[in-house]
Amino acid sequence: MSNVYYKKYEGNDPKTLSGLAKELFEYIVKHENLKLEKKIPIKVHFGEKGNSTHIPPKSYNGLIDSLKYRNIDTSYIETNVLYRGSRTTKESHIKLAKEHGFTQIPIIIADGNSGEEVYEVEINKEYFDKVKLGKAYDEYDQILVTSHFKGHGMAGFGGALKQLAMGFASRSGKMAQHAKLKPSVKGKKCISCGICIDKCDVDAIHIENYAIISPDKCIGCAGCIAVCPTRAISNDWNAENFREKVTEYAYGASLNKRHIYINFLTNVTEECDCIGQQMDTIAKDVGVFVSMDPVAVDTACLDILQKNENEALFDKGRTSLEHAKKIGFGSLDYKLIEI
Ligand code: SF4
Ligand code: SF4
């Protein structure tokens, strides 16, 4: 059983979110008697260009103040994305982060200029013997892993597990998780706009009467799925074990570390912050959660969201949680403590 602490959030002011995150961080440090390292980066998602529902930079001010007050050296830390976009290279990634207002502390792109800097962690689990992560993560024993809890087309939901898995993986690690995810196009829905062709790094898409994806060329990065305006591109998720692979990568990214997990259950959208466009929110804001257990904090967020909204919401993400239980990672049982 793991403790999950939370505070309700009832406004739309990032300054308030910042105060809640700070209070929760300080509470867990005190009540779980945590030893803090001298260097603790903050893992974030800067939001794709055009996205407006990611966690805003002001929400991190309280955490940054609290770390600096303790003389802890901090920075933002992230890895490059697999698909072609504003966060594919270190230079463009940092540029976008600054444009989005993430300017308070230095920014580390953990996997180098375009994903070539890698370190491996041996896990010996069902799908992977080892995972490939951004090299700079290896320098830190403790990271504040912050996550925006919301939907995700492939994973079901995106929270702490997804942040650890995709957010820590190098480009090669991301590809390993996506491997064999071969999307296809529903012809009737395709309007032949060509947006997916521009997104595809490996020229796997061409248009005949509608977009066609060549399975021999496709590397399964899922970039085209994220950008299609008519949702014409889909996948056979169950056949590919994507969610189980995400769990195993999350396990590898947390192994022998003492990360602290903060989930923001606010601005809940159906899709993730990699979508470079405005999206409607689909659920009431709930609050901010903190735990030392990424499985417990995600389980708590999903349970509350389903109770508040509907039981089917993001339910396919349960596969990730169940796989965590199967491989002995974290705990599905949690004690929810409102502070
Ligand atoms: S982005 Fe979607 S609608 Fe546009 S061409 Fe590709 S599959 Fe068709
Ligand atoms: S066709 Fe394959 S490689 Fe190209 S963007 Fe889509 S998923 Fe990625």
pLDDT tens readout for residues 312-332? 889 889 999 999 999 999 999
Number of domains in the chain: 2
Check whether residue 208 and residue 153 sit in a common domain.
no
Q: Given pLDDT bands bounded at 50, 70 and 90, which one contains residue 155? A: confident
Cα(272) to ligand 1 centroid in Å equals 19
CATH number of the structural domain spanning residue 189:
3.30.70.20
Same domain, 130 and 275: yes
User: DSSP string covering 157-219, please?
Assistant: EESHHHHHHHHHB-HHHHHHHHTT---EE-GGG-----HHHHH-TT--EEESSSEEE-TTT--
Q: Which atom of ligand 1 is found nearest the CA of 189?
A: 3
Residues 78 and 98 in one domain: yes
- Do residues 61 and 186 share a domain? no
Ligand 1 binding pocket mutation candidate from 233, 234, 275 (most atoms within 8 A of CB): 233
**Mean pLDDT in residue range 230-246:** 77
Average pLDDT over residues 183-187: 89
- The boundaries of the domain holding residue 300 are 2-177+240-338
Q: What is the mean pLDDT of residues 244-261?
A: 96
CATH number (domain holding residue 16):
3.40.50.11440
Q: Is 195 in the pocket of ligand 1 (CB under 6 A)?
A: yes
313: three-class secondary structure by DSSP: coil
Shared domain for 217 and 97, answered yes or no, is no
Is 321's C-beta closer than 6 angstroms to any atom of ligand 1? no
Mean pLDDT of 15-20: 89
For residue 115, is pLDDT > 80? Answer: no
Considering only CA atoms, which residue is closest to atom 8 of ligand 1? Answer: 190
- 280 confidence band (pLDDT: 50, 70, 90): confident
Give the pLDDT band (50/70/90) at residue 83.
Answer: low
Q: Are residues 201 and 334 in the same domain?
A: no
147 and 266 both lie in a single domain: yes
